[in-house]
Amino acid sequence: MNIFKKSKIGIKVCRFYRSYEKFRSAFADGRIVNYKIGKWTKRPKDCGPLAVFDNLESAEEFSNLSFLDVNNRAFFSCKYKPSKEITLYKKYKGGKITERFVLPNGTILADKVKILKEVK
């Protein structure tokens, strides 16, 4: 069974990393998640779900409120596989959840994300 047939379309906010071909999640609060255009990215072990947005306006609002440098951010259309989880969180050794995060408007939680094309 191909789980990617059930993928949906959303918007992913990324930061540039060393070049315009490599990207990282907007926040790397303890976990760094790298993305490459056209490649599926799975959430790291001991990490909560990945966050995408259901529309560009919500992604821009999140980015603006998060003080991301406008010269170091990019918005991508993406495919994603929805997560069954309902919150973002951090886990540390031992598997204990240590911090949960409030979800901005328009947030969708995903287990896997493939960034496709930059949206300007």
pLDDT value at 111 more than 80: yes
pLDDT value at 2 more than 60: no
33-92 tens-digit pLDDT = 899 999 999 988 777 899 999 999 999 988 887 766 777 789 999 999 999 988 877 666
Average pLDDT over residues 5-10: 79
Chain position carrying tokens 């821009």: 60
Q: Decide: helix, strand or coil at residue 77.
A: strand
Q: What is the pTM of this model?
A: 0.82
Task: Pick the closest to residue 61 from 9, 104, 113 (CA basis).
Answer: 104
Higher pLDDT, 68 or 8: 8
Q: Which helix (H) or strand (E) holds 74?
A: strand 73-82
42 phi, psi to nearest 5 deg = -95, 155
